């Protein structure tokens, strides 16, 4: 008997879930923040409303058409398609090895994995091969998102190989002290598990053991290294002295301060982790007051991966890296809205945000129909959920994952990958 999930796996719902979870943590967390602009608060909620409405309207159109239709999905994969998934996974693993070789040769003392921020050192001396390896590492999650949906694989090696490839980019970016990809990968992984549950994907006993044991081990290792970074990068300030924009704009709540003092400041890393996840809303209210009125990049941030490639081959003079020159809160998270404003300006950004919601709704409809959105649906739900914190197009390099998916999906289809939809 099919158990009904209490969580509704729709983009509009995940936008709401993300907001609710964020503000629960924000309100119950250890800090009170300064709100810099009431207009910024209003713009913040209007933006989320437009993103929600864009997704909700398109979802509703699909629901009305298919209200009485129940569907079961069966993913069929040929040996050729599965071998291509294995090749994609191997490419991801080899790319990690190439990438990591350059990391351990950086001029630092006593390199310790995922314990310090080495991004500046890397950017100052990195090779073209390292840049390519960083991008090709991100093919790994694509192979796993597809293979995990298949009930009957042709080769036993596919499950462990694609699972390793899924987490490979996390370890690659953790090796230089970057947490974003690892955090986003965990969200994608967990949401993919919910989607698989909804689709009733069941497998052989061997694969069931792998699906339960290996993911737990992988998640534990990634969480361990993320936590290690919060401890290993303590910063110069104590938890009660932290601030966002100006000294004094962040206050440690009395109870949390008392608790930390009695524990001899052992909670400092935990409090800083809370700040990491909760500072985006107050930072946005400052960003709004300082942000440019008109657009600067007009899509170069939203589609940064494409513009990076065009810039590298001389077909575009726009360098998305120059965003730091126009971002008044560079180095801080300021929700998904901020880069839309830098890209398009305050008024046009609202339209593009609404259109992004429509895109999410269209991918939802595509996933329900077993078409191109079927395998990347967990990425879209993740983008909706983390929108109160991150700019969802580029954080965790989800734009690169989507690029690889749209590149490989037609080839996999030609080789024999298909989704059969049975209506009941």
**Average pLDDT, whole number, for the chain?**
85
Let me know if residue 318 belongs to a domain: no
Let me know if residue 306 belongs to a domain: no
pLDDT-based confidence at residue 405 (cuts at 50, 70, 90): very high
Give the residue from 55, 7, 57, 35 showing the smallest Cα distance to 392. Answer: 55
Per-residue pLDDT tens digits for 130-146: 888 999 999 999 999 99
Residues 2 and 84 in one domain: no
Per-residue pLDDT tens digits for 380-395: 999 999 999 988 888 8
Question: Looking at the predicted structure, is the pLDDT value of residue 213 above 80?
Answer: no
More confident residue, 178 or 27: 27
Residues 7 and 149 in one domain: no
Residues 91 and 216 in one domain: yes
**How far is residue 105's CA from residue 117's CA, in Å, rounded to a whole number?**
15
Let me know if residue 302 belongs to a domain: no
pLDDT for res 205: 47
Residues 221 and 250 in one domain: no
Question: Lowest-pLDDT range, 121-130, 231-240, 286-295?
Answer: 231-240
Tell me phi and psi for residue 189, to 5 degrees: -60, -50
Residues 111 and 169 in one domain: yes
SS3 string of the chain? CCCCCCCCCCHHHHHHHHHHHHHHHHHHCCEEECCCCHHHHHHHHHHHHHHHHHHHHHHHHHHHHHCCCCEEEEEECCHHHHHHHHHHHHHHHHHHHHHHHHHCCCCCCCCCCCCCCCHHHHHHHCCHHHHHHHHHHCCHHHHHHHHCCCCCCCCCCHHHHHHHHHHHHHHHHHCCCCCHHHHHHHHHHHHHHHHHHHCCCCCCHHHHHHHHHHHHHHHHHHHHHHHHHHHHCCCCCCHHHCCCCCCCCEEECHHHHHHHHHCCCCCHHHHHHHHHHHCHHHHHHHHHHHCCCECCCCCCCCCHHHHHHHHHCCCCCCCHHHHHHCCCCCCCCCCCHHHHHHHHEHHHHHHHHHHHHHHHHHHHHHHHCCCCCCCCHHHHHHHHHCCCCCCCCCHHHHHHHHHHHHHHHHHHHHHCCEEEEEEC
Let me know if residue 380 belongs to a domain: no
Classify 201 in phi/psi space as left (phi over 0), alpha (psi -120 to 50) or beta.
Answer: beta
Residues 12 and 48 in one domain: yes
- Percent of the chain having pLDDT more than 90? 49
Residues 177 and 289 in one domain: no
Give the residue from 205, 196, 265, 374 showing the smallest Cα distance to 30. Answer: 265
The distance of Cα 24 from the centroid of its chain, to the nearest Å, equals 20
Interval 271-296 mean pLDDT: 89
**How far is residue 197's CA from residue 195's CA, in Å, rounded to a whole number?**
5
pLDDT for res 206: 44
pLDDT-based confidence at residue 89 (cuts at 50, 70, 90): very high
Classify 265 in phi/psi space as left (phi over 0), alpha (psi -120 to 50) or beta.
Answer: left
Per-residue pLDDT tens digits for 148-176: 999 889 998 998 899 999 999 988 888 88
Q: Residues 10-42, buried b or exposed e (16+ Cβ, 10 A)? A: bbbbbbbebbeebeeebeebbbebeebbeebbe
Let me know if residue 317 belongs to a domain: no
Residues 283 and 401 in one domain: no
Kindly report the pTM of this predicted structure: 0.89
Let me know if residue 127 belongs to a domain: yes
**How far is residue 140's CA from residue 161's CA, in Å, rounded to a whole number?**
9
Q: Residue 285 is part of which domain span? A: 1-69+244-295+331-372
Residues 57 and 106 in one domain: no
Residues 190 and 61 in one domain: no
Q: Residues with Cβ < 8 Å from 41, sequence gap 6 or more?
A: 35, 285
pLDDT for res 308: 75
Let me know if residue 82 belongs to a domain: yes
Tell me phi and psi for residue 251, to 5 degrees: -120, 130
Q: Per the structure, how many domains does the chain have?
A: 2
Let me know if residue 313 belongs to a domain: no
């Amino acid at each position: 008997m099919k158990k009904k999930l209490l969580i509704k796996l729709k983009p509009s719902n995940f936008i709401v879930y993300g907001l609710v979870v964020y503000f629960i943590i924000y309100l119950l967390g250890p800090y009170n923040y300064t709100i810099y602009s009431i207009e910024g608060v209003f713009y913040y909620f209007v933006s989320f409303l437009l993103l929600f409405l864009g997704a909700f309207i398109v979802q509703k159109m699909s629901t009305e058409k298919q209200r009485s239709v129940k569907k079961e999905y069966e993913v069929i994969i040929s040996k050729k398609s599965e071998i291509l998934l294995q090749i994609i996974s191997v490419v991801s693993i080899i790319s990690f090895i190439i990438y990591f070789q350059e990391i351990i040769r950086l001029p630092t003392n006593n390199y310790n994995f995922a314990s310090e921020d080495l991004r500046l050192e890397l950017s100052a001396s990195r090779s073209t091969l390292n840049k390519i390896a960083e991008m090709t590492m991100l093919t790994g999650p694509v192979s796993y998102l597809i293979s995990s949906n298949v009930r009957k694989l042709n080769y036993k090696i596919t499950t462990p190989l694609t699972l390793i490839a899924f987490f490979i980019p996390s370890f690659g970016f953790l090796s230089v002290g970057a947490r974003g990809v690892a955090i986003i990968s965990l969200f994608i992984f967990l949401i993919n598990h919910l989607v698989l549950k909804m689709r009733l994907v069941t497998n052989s006993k061997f694969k069931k053991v792998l699906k339960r044991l290996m993911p737990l081990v992988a998640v534990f290792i990634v969480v361990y290294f993320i936590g290690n970074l919060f401890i290993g990068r303590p910063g110069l300030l104590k938890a009660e002295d932290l601030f966002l924009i100006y000294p004094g704009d962040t206050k440690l709540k009395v109870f949390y301060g008392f608790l930390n003092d009695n524990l001899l400041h052992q909670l400092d890393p935990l409090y800083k982790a809370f700040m990491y996840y909760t500072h985006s809303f107050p930072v946005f209210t400052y960003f709004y007051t300082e942000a440019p009125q008109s657009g600067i990049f007009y899509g170069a941030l939203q589609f940064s991966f494409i513009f990076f490639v065009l810039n590298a081959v001389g077909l575009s003079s726009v360098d998305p890296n120059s965003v730091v020159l126009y971002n008044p809160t560079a180095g801080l998270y300021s929700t998904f809205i901020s880069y839309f404003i830098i890209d398009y300006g305050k008024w046009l950004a609202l339209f593009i945000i609404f259109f992004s919601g429509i895109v999410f709704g269209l991918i939802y409809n595509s996933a329900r129909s077993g078409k191109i959105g079927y395998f990347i649906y967990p990425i879209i739900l993740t983008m909706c959920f983390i929108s109160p914190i991150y700019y969802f197009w580029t954080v965790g390099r989800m734009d690169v994952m989507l690029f690889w998916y749209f590149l490989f999906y037609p080839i996999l289809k030609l080789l024999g990958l298909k989704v059969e939809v049975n209506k009941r």
